[in-house]
Structure 1
């Protein structure tokens, strides 16, 4: 297995000499000072727990040497709470972090804790419309993890299915954006084509009936009054496009990382949802006639000057403004999304790799992390191992050998129950019960 063994050497060669703080690398915790959720979480910790977090944050700010920290404490001292706050801080600082644990139960518990913190942070942001979870990812055996509704939004397989819906026609984002733009731009000409096709169908049916000897009155005298009105046509088409469009926007904003989808696009998505909602509410009001709506939505060269008149109704003016704003946002977002580094080839494998590459906070068991060795991705910065005392040394090597990880944080207590190994041969001859925690002497006590 290829990999970087600097962390393993650091652990195995631990000495009694405590490393001095690095004065060359500046800390990057400005994001945390302004984050109300982190400040609240920090205020709920005691002094030693906050010191442990600050020490870990200080350690991995160093770019020119490897560090290994241990958060230690007996049962009930708040190791899990401290770890959750630390991981929330790493999430906010956008540090590429792999979080491992020896069992599916343990890793799911840690992921749920951090997910809950992120959701509460979102609930406290009144301006946000979607809770972006694209930077968080959990992968592993679905049955053993017991993935339910409370955690499925960060589970890899669920995310792949959602993004497959969003990236492929006929309900993919490209189709939905194009369809809504076409409707808002060309609804009058689309309606004319619709009426023409309907009349051709009717004429064809009349010809068939006449050829069979049946007498059918020609409906041409009634004209388009026999068919859907313009306003009925627009309302029906809008609803059929708006629902999958909103679903696509929700998937994009929830399941693609902030770094990938870009902050300005997230803001534009929120504006688009509000704009489309306003347009829909105005479109379904009863104070506008089909004829006036058709005139309003006609190309500029076909309109009269009524829209510029001071006597134009407030409803028509609001509808015109809402349509104009929605069109502008749709065009802007379509171009912007086209420039993003989204998968070129839409397959489950390509989207799976995309999710792993884009996420900054990844959760898995130590044994499941082998999958990351075969994924072409930007190097991870930090490895965090929860319940490290229960993890066999040979199992710990799997994530430790991932390339370019320079910093590790071990959380655990070597006095608690060790890993369960039933084979006496493995215990006596192969040292399977050896774990990492007792070997590392410098720890931060909770």
Structure 2
């Protein structure tokens, strides 16, 4: 059992600090008769993917990569480049490249974007198209759909999606979200009984369902970078709690955890870091009190229901990140929320079932080691991974 869980933790550790943030780019297409103006915008992190050493590419390198992977065709005739592609000014942390295509005809135009899919199969491009009539159309381009036919571009990429598509999106968000799976591993470790596991899963579900609905409906719009960092913090905290309960020394661990977060707030006041000082101080106070209380409660199952509800609120904003970047059809909003939430539940129950089932199977095969040893090793791994992600996303 310890080998299985330790291997799982090791695999999770290989994920980058931005594990939750998906790979994406943005394109803006202005169709003016037989001319098409294209602007490609992408984060610096995406641009680094095209170099072998991970360094930011210079402008010629970026243009050389993008040029053969973007284009326009009029029927079977490819459109020619009217000007030399050029890099233009962009917001801090982003890169922008402009293209201009001249087509032999304004009929049957087909827009193509094929960049990054060979590097990251799950990459998405969020395309906004301004038609000659002045209307704006939004589409989502993926490795399976790299072209847009202007004759059929009459709505967002989700308008034609059905309930099962939304369910699949939720399932894949869990399966491709290494940080969410890490958190679920921590919930399995902290739960000694099935009743405890039921409490924490219930709290987590209630929390993420609430904030997912609030974010998608526009009631609350979270800051994506802050949410990614807090998701990582929840992973570290669930690992620290496992160690605190096992070692029965919550006071010392609470002091260290709260102290580190307050120290980060002091650094932010000095201009170092990204997270607001008040957010870090609040997180430090919450973390210290949470660890102190959980370490002294004899039956912490019901307490963890409340705490994982709070953690679920944070993860729910993380789940919403996939949807907030897409044009959400208002007529399908209820169907999307129910389907996506159902998919998330199917994904997390699958992960929890596989982990719990593996433990039961190994126990029956008498291949298990003492629980304290397993918890210590895996919890230490979660603390290391969560801290690495949290620091990476905070600075």
Normalising by the residue count of structure 2, what TM-score does the alignment of the two structures yield?
Answer: 0.32
Bigger radius of gyration, 1 or 2? 1
More contact order relative to length (CA 8 Å, sep ≥ 6): 1
Normalising by the residue count of structure 1, what TM-score does the alignment of the two structures yield?
Answer: 0.29
Point out the structure with the larger strand share.
2
